[in-house]
């Protein structure tokens, strides 16, 4: 792969790298950039996530060699850190901060964080939020001046219910605190704005991205039922039973512990912000809209 020299005259559209590109949010960001004609490169560890017409680097985000190839010629990076610890981030930070052989500066970094990060706390409520707080601090301490997008619970998480809903009308799982669930397409559009604008236009944030309405699990299940034309019901499962079921499903123990801690300790949030509207220029979508647009996935 060859380096793209940085333009010296008129501003040009940045070349972008999207990490976690095959995931629920990453796919939307890649599609949104590609649709705008922006040069986008995907980094994911699963080759099946590659899409026609989009550059792809396959490998692990924690592998310095993979990152070196992925970052060559890149001006702006959408960084996700879907890990349970920030410890392996040091190699990634070194790659992000390194000057390229052509002397170009470090790329602009947009970090996808969590709305549950509380700047007033020394320790966050659970391990997943702690990782995001640690990553924000590491990126800033490395002098990378990240634009921080703190996302609320993504609507796409309910894809995890599809199997249960093919078998019946009940969604059983650990209850979690009510939040203003946000459509991942809105987070993607906000991320595109942040990637393509300079710092003066969007500021460094943190931008807390929420949907327009505070919802619990039972509300989401009911709204999904309306979209599917079915009467659906949520059944809260006690933490110990949920833990045993996730382990029996083969999920790694550390991930199960982190998910259960989140369900037990993450506080309810009634916060609804206008950050999507400010970054994207239109109102955030409702969860009912998400359910209507994705109903076919639950057939």
Residues that bind ligand NAP (CB under 6 A): 20, 22-26, 44-46, 60-62, 80-82, 112, 114, 151, 153-154, 157
**Among residues 169 and 253, whose Cβ is nearest to ligand NAP?**
253
Nearest-approach distance from CB 45 to ligand NAP, in angstroms: 4
Nearest-approach distance from CB 88 to ligand NAP, in angstroms: 8
Nearest-approach distance from CB 231 to ligand NAP, in angstroms: 26
DSSP H helical segments within the chain, as ranges? Answer: 24-35, 64-71, 89-97, 127-141, 162-167, 184-196, 199-202, 217-228, 239-248, 253-265, 275-280, 287-294
**Among residues 44 and 126, whose Cβ is nearest to ligand NAP?**
44
Query: Rounded to an integer, what distance in angstroms lies between the CA atom of residue 25 and that of residue 23?
Result: 6
**Among residues 1 and 7, whose Cβ is nearest to ligand NAP?**
1
Nearest-approach distance from CB 28 to ligand NAP, in angstroms: 8
Residues 6+ apart with CB under 8 A from 246: 256, 259, 260
Q: Which residue's C-beta sits nearest to ligand NAP?
A: 23
**Among residues 6 and 216, whose Cβ is nearest to ligand NAP?**
216
CA dist list (Å): 9 to 12, 23, 110, 127: 9, 36, 24, 45
Nearest-approach distance from CB 136 to ligand NAP, in angstroms: 12
**Among residues 4 and 62, whose Cβ is nearest to ligand NAP?**
62
For residue 249, the tally of other CB atoms under 10 A from its CB is 8
Query: Rounded to an integer, what distance in angstroms lies between the CA atom of residue 17 and that of residue 12?
Result: 16
């Amino acid at each position: 792969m060859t380096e793209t020299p940085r333009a010296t005259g008129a501003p040009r559209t940045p070349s972008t790298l999207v990490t976690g590109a095959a995931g629920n949010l990453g796919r939307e960001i890649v599609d949104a950039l590609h649709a705008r004609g922006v040069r986008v490169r995907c980094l994911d560890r699963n080759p099946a996530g590659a899409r026609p017409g989009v550059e792809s680097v396959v490998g692990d985000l924690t592998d310095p060699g993979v990152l070196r190839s992925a970052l060559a010629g890149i001006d702006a990076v959408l960084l996700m850190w879907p890990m349970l610890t920030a410890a392996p981030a040091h190699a990634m930070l070194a790659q992000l901060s390194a000057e390229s052989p052509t002397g170009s500066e470090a790329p602009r970094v947009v970090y996808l964080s969590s709305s549950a990060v509380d700047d007033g706390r020394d320790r966050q409520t659970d391990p997943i939020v702690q990782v995001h707080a640690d990553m924000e601090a590491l990126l800033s301490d490395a002098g990378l001046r990240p634009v921080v997008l703190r996302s609320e619970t993504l609507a796409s998480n309910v894809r995890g219910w599809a199997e249960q809903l093919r078998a019946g009308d009940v969604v059983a799982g650990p209850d979690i605190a009510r939040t203003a669930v946000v459509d991942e397409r809105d987070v993607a559009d906000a991320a595109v704005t942040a990637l393509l604008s300079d710092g003066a236009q969007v500021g460094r944030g943190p931008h807390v991205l929420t949907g327009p309405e505070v919802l619990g699990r039972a509300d989401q299940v009911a709204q999904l039922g309306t979209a599917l034309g079915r009467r659906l019901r949520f059944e809260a499962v006690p933490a110990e039973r949920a833990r045993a079921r996730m382990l029996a499903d083969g999920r790694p123990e550390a991930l199960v512990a982190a998910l259960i801690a989140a369900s037990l300790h993450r506080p309810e949030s009634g916060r609804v912000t206008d950050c999507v509207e400010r970054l994207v220029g239109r109102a955030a979508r409702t969860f009912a809209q998400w359910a209507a647009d994705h109903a076919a996935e639950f057939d």
